[in-house]
Structure 1
Amino acid sequence: MSEDSDKESKTEEASEKKIADAVEKGNIPFSREATLFASLLGILVSLVFFAANQTTMLAEGLARLIDDPGGLRLDTGEDATALLWMIAGLAGRVLLPVVLLLAVAGLVAALLQNTPRLVGERIRPQWSRISPMAGWNRIFGKHGQIEFLKSLFKFLAISIACGILLFSGRDDLLGALTTDPVLVPSMLLTLAVRLVSVVCVATIALVSIDLVWSRLSWRAELRMTKQEVKEEFKQAEGDPMVKARMRSLAQQRARQRMMSAVPRASVVIANPTHYAIALQYDRQKGGAPLVLAKGVDLIALKIRAIAEQNDVPVVEDRELARALYAAVEVDQWIPPEFYRPIAKILYFVYSRDKNGPT
């Protein structure tokens, strides 16, 4: 019941990160029916193109054994070993093309479904693979039921197709009992080709359905709950609360650094209580005045208080204070359009302060 409710809560499509993590662990959509179908096609190709020639080659190679078995020397163990190696070599030459063709067919079927990758997770020992309970759940769970239905469908489809084919060719099969034995192999080969062809055709629908179902079920297994989506977003983007805290600490440090620079200011331009901008100007170095600090409301009052404690002149100019606050950031030179009004204020401050810089 809890498993069903957990699946019902997974309403969100899998994110790119979760899909990538699943692929890295070897959890990829895979259709076994496609591999089986490729093997059947390999068998069909081998029957059509190789079976006749390979069978003839095997018969010719074993002609001596079949025609004159008494003429073979089996006096010692070496003679028996040589005979077995001869038979193995003949069988190997016959079976090797077929085995290679089946291997290539299965490999191509796997490559067309997914990009090959080496995943250590798939070969790492896990208790769930040998656990009787896990095996029981795999056999009698939803996945096991679907596999049983597919197997039942294959059995019925192949049985019906083969039954129809054998029933239609019953006359040929009965005639083989009285026909020339030399013709029997070719007749059996033709029947085998027809049987494998019918099986391939019968399994095409199952393979198509299984390819689609394997990907849909894989996507469904990777679905996420809303909470999982939130947690993944937090991991990717960072916890909003932590980020807000870090941002607040950064602003606090910047504000403290800004306040510590106010005593070095040449003048503070204020809009009596709402805006305050602290400027520093060095006549010996020249250049434009530098903004050391700025703020509104409580910060502006704090800037004014620090300036008054350190005998920094405070000049009230409502429009200029608002304009400077909007146009300039801390640790930046003032723009050229403010040169004239700031120069007038600095001239006024220096002319009033006899101890100011000369």
Structure 2
Amino acid sequence: MAEDSGQERTEEPTSKKIEEARKKGQIARSKELGTTFVLIFSAIALLLYGPALGQGLYNIMGRALTLNRNETYDTTKMFSVWDMAFAELLFPFSMFVLIIALAGVVGNTLLGGFNFSWQAAAPKASKMSPMKGLKRMLGPQAAVELIKSILKFILVAGAAIFLINTFFYEILHLSIEAVPGSIIHSLEILAWMFLGLSCTLIIISAIDAPYQSYNHHKQLKMTLQEVKDEYKNSEGDPQIKARIRRTQREMSQRRMMQDVPDADVVVTNPTHYSVALKYDTDKAGAPMVIAKGVDELAMQIRKVAIGNEVPIVESPLLTRSLYHTTEVGEQIPDQLFTAVAQVLAYVFQLKRFNKGRGRKPTSLNKDLSIPDHLKH
């Protein structure tokens, strides 16, 4: 996509991009690191268990080549040697193989961690394309591999010459050593030379592992458009999200306006803010805010209140304080109990007066006492 659009990959890969790459089997891997681990630990295993393997092979060959006359004519006697061979070689050979297997797992998962992907294992037509294969052969990765191969050849050849010169007289001395000492000694020389040659690959691995990590990170980098597209896919189109929020807000406002006729009073600013309050005496709780709004919505609340004969009381300080401190469906703060109680008392007295059951209440003070930290 980046190549088609002409955009450069300048953005860091997102966590989603990295996770998708892991699912496809695209992780940082260094074949040189894995090979180095296997070879070095193979040499160590040979140093540890080579003598036991050599002694076991010597014992097996000695038993197989020293048959008496009866054993020579017994066609089944050959199979009896198998038990001996199994007993002699089982432990050292098993440990040898186990060390190599562990080294293979550790070496190949040290960079990038353990990861298994069916998508990576599945056959791909692109891998069988001659043109893409030619492109890979002539690409920068192929050039890096060529440089590594040349460097490995130089290092291994130089180390081989040095080791041969170092062990030259010991190798010549093997011809006059007694058996089985010469067998065990030859295995030790072989193991040390093998270890020396394998250690030269540490230099290649020290260069290749950081490069593979850098190259993998570079391949995962994204264009600015890819980052935007991923954000849209994961978080949703901003325009659609805004439309959803607007619809949810309109639905919430409609539900809120349906509760206004049940309010005991609507306090106003008087023009910019409106808050509808309801006090349910049966629940013996605090008064609740059942609707609130500003500007156009405040005007709609007042219209609904007038149409349903809900008392409207002007109290600028109290209205702004209720609007900013209390959400719809919540009880009013404790610090506003006194001010709201005065408003409700005035409203209830006014209702009784209108029904001819009491005297007309005195006018309510618009500037009710509001704590300083609740003023807005």
Pick the TM interval, shorter chain. Answer: 0.7 to 0.9
- Would the alpha carbon gap of residues 356 and 215 (structure 1) be closer, same or farther in structure 2, given more than 3 Å must change? farther
| Partners of 2:159 and 2:196 within 8 A in 1 | yes
In structure 1, what residue type is equivalent to 2:137? I
Alignment of 1:80-119 (within 5 A): 97-113=95-111, 115-119=113-117
CA deviation digits over 1:164-213, x for unaligned, max 9? 33345556666777x56858656644542342132123222112222222
Q: CA deviation at 1:265?
A: 3.0
Q: Which shifted more, 83-92 or 188-197?
A: 83-92
Quick one: distance in 2 between partners of 1:225 and 1:113? 26
In the TM superposition, residue 162 of structure 1 has moved relative to its aligned partner by: 0.9
Contact 2:37 2:107 in 1 (8 A): yes
- 1:103 and 1:287 map into 2 onto residues whose CA distance is 72
Point out the more displaced range, 250-259 or 280-289.
Answer: 280-289
- Structure 1 stretch displaced more, 10-19 or 286-295: 286-295
Gaps of 5+ in 2: 359-376
Mapped partners of 2:135, 2:127: distance in 1: 11
Computed over aligned residues only, the root mean square deviation of the Cα atoms, in angstroms, reads 4.0
Matched, 1:149 2:147: yes
Instruction: Name the counterpart of 1:310.
Output: 308
**127-136 or 11-20: bigger deviation:** 127-136
In structure 2, the partner of 1:270 is 268
Change (3 A) 1:356 1:193: farther
Aligned to 1:126: 124
**Aligned in 2, Cα 1:350/1:47: closer, same or farther, shift over 3 Å?**
closer
Task: Return closer, same or farther for 1:339/1:187 CA change in 2, 3 Å cut-off.
Answer: closer
Counterparts of 1:313 and 1:172, CA distance in 2: 112
Structure 1 residue 16 and structure 2 residue 15: aligned? yes
Which residue of structure 2 lines up, in the alignment, with residue 161 of structure 1? 159
When residues 270 and 120 of structure 1 are mapped into structure 2, their CA distance, relative to the original with a 3 A threshold, is same
Alpha-carbon distance between aligned partners in 2 of 1:315 and 1:15, rounded to the nearest angstrom: 55
1: CA distance between counterparts of 2:93 and 2:283?
Answer: 93
CA distance in 1, matches of 2:132, 2:84: 45
Q: 2:133 aligns with which of 132, 135, 140?
A: 135
How far apart in 2 are the matches of 1:256 and 1:65? 98
The alpha carbon displacement at 1:293 in A equals 2.3
Instruction: Report the equivalent of 1:208.
Output: 206
- How far the C-alpha of 1:306 sits from its partner, in A, is 2.2
Report Cα offsets for 1:127-183 as digits up to 9, x if no partner. Answer: 234443443344332222222221221111101111233345556666777x56858
- Displacement, 1:73? 5.9
SS across alignment from 1:50: helix
Q: What is the match of residue 257 of structure 2?
A: 259
The letter for the 2-side match of 1:205 is: I
Contact 1:288-1:339 at 8 Å conserved across structures: no
Partner of 1:342: 343
Aligned partners of 1:259 and 1:293 also within 8 Å: yes
CA-to-partner distance for each residue in 1:325-348, whole Å, 9 max, x for gaps?
Answer: 334433334441323431343145
**What is the alpha-carbon distance in structure 2 between the residues aligned to residue 342 and residue 23 of structure 1?**
65
| Structure-2 separation of matches of 1:238 and 1:304 | 37
Post-superposition CA distance 1:228-270 (Å, at most 9, x none) = 3333334444433232222211111111122222233333333
- Report if the CA contact (8 A) 1:10-1:224 is conserved: yes
SS at the partner of 2:213? helix
CA distance in 2, matches of 1:102, 1:283: 81
Q: Read off the aligned partner of 1:27 and give its amino acid letter.
A: Q
Alpha-carbon spacing, 1:4–1:151, altered in 2? closer, same or farther (3 Å): farther
Corresponding residue pairs, total? 353
Asked whether the 8 Å contact 1:268–1:314 carries over to 2, the reply is yes
Contact 2:55 2:184 survives alignment (8 Å): no
Question: Which secondary structure state, in structure 1, belongs to the residue aligned with residue 10 of structure 2?
Answer: coil
**Structure 1 partner of 2:49:** 50
Q: Percent identity?
A: 32
Q: CA separation of 1:128/1:316 partners in 2, compared to 1, >3 Å: closer, same or farther?
A: same
Change (3 A) 1:138 1:87: farther
Distance 1:333 1:188, change over 3 A: closer
Unaligned stretches of 5+ residues in structure 1:
none
State whether residues 274 and 296 of structure 1, in contact with CA within 8 Å, keep that contact through their aligned partners in structure 2.
Answer: yes
